[in-house]
């Protein structure tokens, strides 16, 4: 999608009803579908926020940012995700968390980002986080500066997200499960599954 066309859709994006859990669960691993609001509350999860950041590439095609996490001893090592993280005491709200973490991880200044709306929160059971995604844009591709938490920047075309052929399944091994088949998005050689895929599923439905 041309970025100018994307800009023209912003007013509509702000008011369209979100798909919520129904949209998210289209790309949810089977074990994730079992959670509900009662279970989430009982777990008293930690709060976090991420940013789905859209921008034009050098051909003025609309892209969004994904990052590949650095490898470490943890449940989300080397996974592909949006920039973001845990809410800090200095954050006035979760939107501030998403903006601060985006600056810390990939160097995009808060003042350059226009937040369009808040999306449906996602419960990540393995790490007991309740993550709130935000949709934002910048007017040009940022000069990304990566910190130690991020191994790689991934520019994904919006047209690839909208394309149903990007949805498939894959078997994964993690620190908490082995050889489990999960639904995912495949963008070139990158596999996106779990919480990030669930967020993208809602974004895909919103943009369609």
The CATH number of the domain where 88 resides is what? Answer: 3.90.79.10
**Helix segments in the chain, DSSP class H:** 3-8, 10-15, 20-24, 37-43, 94-106, 158-162, 194-207
pLDDT of 126: 77
Model confidence at 127, in pLDDT bands (50, 70, 90)?
Answer: confident
The answer to the question of residue 169 being in a domain is no
pLDDT of 184: 95
Q: Containing H/E element for 126?
A: none
pLDDT of 36: 67
pLDDT of 42: 78
The answer to the question of residue 175 being in a domain is no
Number of separate domains in the chain = 1
pLDDT of 172 > 90? The answer is no
pLDDT of 71: 63
Tell me the per-residue pLDDT of 55-98, one tens digit each, with 9 for 90 and over.
999 999 999 999 998 765 554 456 899 999 999 999 999 999 99
Mean pLDDT, rounded, of the chain: 90
Number of H helices, E strands in the chain: 7, 11
pLDDT of 76: 46
Dihedral, CA atoms, 9, 11, 17, 23, nearest 10 degrees?
40
Model confidence at 124, in pLDDT bands (50, 70, 90)?
Answer: confident
Q: How far is CA 181 from CA 28, 29, 37, 64, 168, in A?
A: 11, 8, 25, 26, 10
Handedness of CA 176, 178, 182, 188 (dihedral sign): positive
The answer to the question of residue 52 being in a domain is yes
Nearest alpha-carbon partner for 103 in 76, 138, 63, 56: 138
The backbone torsions φ and ψ at residue 20, rounded to the nearest 5 degrees and listed phi first, read 60, -150
CB atoms within 10 A of CB 90: 8
pLDDT of 176: 61
Least reliable range by pLDDT among 82-86, 121-125, 158-162, 172-176: 172-176
The answer to the question of residue 106 being in a domain is yes
What domain range is 91 assigned to?
A: 3-162+194-207
Partners of 117 in the beta sheet? 135
The answer to the question of residue 20 being in a domain is yes
pLDDT of 37 > 80? The answer is no
Q: Compute the half-sphere exposure of residue 25: CA atoms within 13 Å on the CB side of its CA.
A: 10
pLDDT of 31 > 80? The answer is no
Residue 6 tokens read as 């994307």
pLDDT of 191: 93
Model confidence at 104, in pLDDT bands (50, 70, 90)?
Answer: very high
The answer to the question of residue 177 being in a domain is no
| pTM of the model as a whole | 0.91
The answer to the question of residue 179 being in a domain is no
The answer to the question of residue 181 being in a domain is no
Residue 199 and residue 106: Cα distance in Å, rounded? 20
């Amino acid at each position: 999608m041309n970025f100018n066309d994307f800009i023209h859709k912003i007013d509509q994006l702000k008011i369209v009803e979100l798909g919520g859990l129904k949209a998210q669960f289209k790309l949810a691993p089977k074990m994730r579908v079992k959670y509900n609001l009662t279970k989430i509350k009982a777990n008293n999860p930690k709060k976090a926020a991420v940013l789905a950041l859209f921008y034009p590439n050098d051909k003025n095609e609309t892209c969004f940012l994904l990052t590949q996490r650095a490898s470490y001893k943890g449940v989300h090592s080397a996974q592909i995700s949006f920039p973001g993280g845990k809410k800090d005491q200095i954050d006035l709200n979760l939107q501030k968390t998403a903006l601060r973490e985006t600056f810390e991880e990939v160097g995009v200044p808060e003042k350059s980002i226009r937040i369009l709306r808040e999306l449906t929160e996602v419960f990540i059971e393995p790490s007991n986080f309740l993550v709130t995604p935000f949709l934002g844009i910048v007017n040009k591709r940022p000069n990304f500066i990566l910190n130690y938490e991020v191994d790689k920047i991934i520019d994904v075309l919006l047209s690839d997200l909208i394309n149903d052929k990007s949805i498939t399944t894959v078997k994964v091994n993690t620190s908490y499960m082995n050889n489990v088949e999960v639904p995912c998005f495949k963008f070139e050689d990158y596999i996106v599954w779990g919480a990030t895929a669930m967020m993208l599923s809602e974004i895909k439905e919103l943009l369609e």
